[in-house]
Structure 1
Amino acid sequence: MQAQASFVELLQNPPPQQADAQHHATTLPAETPRESAPISPSKTPRSFASSLLGEGLIDDKLALMDGLGRFGVAFALAASYGLAVGTRDGGMSLLKHAAAVPLAPLAVAVVGVPALLIVLTLFDAPVSPSAAFSAASRGAAATGLVLGGLAPAMALFVTTTSSRGGAAVSAGLGLILAGIFGLRAFLRTIGSPIGHASALPRTVSGFALAGFAIFATALSARIWWSTLPIFGGDL
């Protein structure tokens, strides 16, 4: 009877190590499946044109060096168009055309844009100097992109055509097309904040932008006509 009682007590009160093992066995948490890290979608790389022109309608916080870099790329692309036109005569004509083509967007940015900004400021148009700088650099970049894109075809045409007049007309059409795109980009950019202004500043700004478009067209035509050898000018 005493041995039977000891056996019963042993079953009711197991040794500490065995009790701990049973406790750990019953309290082990179930393994949770591991969640794989979400795969982030790859970003679409930006094109050269979008990185040069920028995003949005206007960037009034454009850094000075970024804007100057945009101008530099625009003038380099415009110079490539001049080189293409100059391949007809070769020699010094290459350098003269390459130097003359960027003069028009440079003159518009240096002479026309500050004058336009003064007029807009007089009538309380919501355009800051940094916004005007951003719009000018974007307009020059759009002009340069068109000229750089047309350069290979222009080089092929002016070197294969027998008519100098035809080469001059084709070169002029390319300049006109680039000027239209550049002027459109500038007006669209600088005009975006004006649309939220009151009636009087918005009306006066519309006339000022129209006058600027006429001035920029006349100035560019004058510079290109008098400096490009393909038109009979000389730098």
Structure 2
Amino acid sequence: MAAAKPKKTYVDAILGPFVFSHVHLSSPDTEGQFADNKYKVDGVADPKSKAIAEVEATLKDVLKKVGLPAKGTNLPLKKQMEKVDGKKQETGKLFLRAKSNRAPLIVDASGKPIPKEALKKMKIGAGSEGRIEGYFTDYETTERVRNADGEVEVITIKGVSFTLTGIQLLKLVNGGGGSRFGAYEGYEGGFTYSGDDGDEDALDLSADDGDDRDAGDADGDEGGLDI
């Protein structure tokens, strides 16, 4: 009889505010070299910000619960990199990578869900700001690599991923790309949606009973961060 798979650990969190990068919230990422047909966003912030402190504290708690070391474990908190004269270098910022196979629920600063049709017209772009809702979970996957002798071997990659379930949009920058959120008081002049309620068009995650949670992504350790 095959051994039973170890039970995964799930830790829910609402984090931020962040500045958004690599935004695919109204529709999944289906074009380009890194397209994976997932809804996604990178939440960028200063390493000394409250948002990053919350991410690091939650990650440490998750790692303790699943018995994984911070060093050598693939994490969704990474160093932001940019290309300068064809070479990658650190920007001095960190980002939380959030992805999902399912469309996230998106609400405004008051906690009001934004209808699907309105989201399509908004085209939430890079530079928008807000909070990110989701859950951390551990994963294990394998990868075939070629060693120094030119032989192919299978290695095991262990990590923690962050699955995106919701966004609270606090600042909108137009671009191409059942919630627990309440009104957010700490962001002056936060974005609010002023259209019709459009309840029949609002994104709804109520059908998700938690049994079909996304598997982790082994994104590689370039720009990875040990906490």
TM-score, length-scaled by structure 2: 0.29
User: Which of 1 and 2 has greater Rg?
Assistant: 1
TM-score, length-scaled by structure 1: 0.28
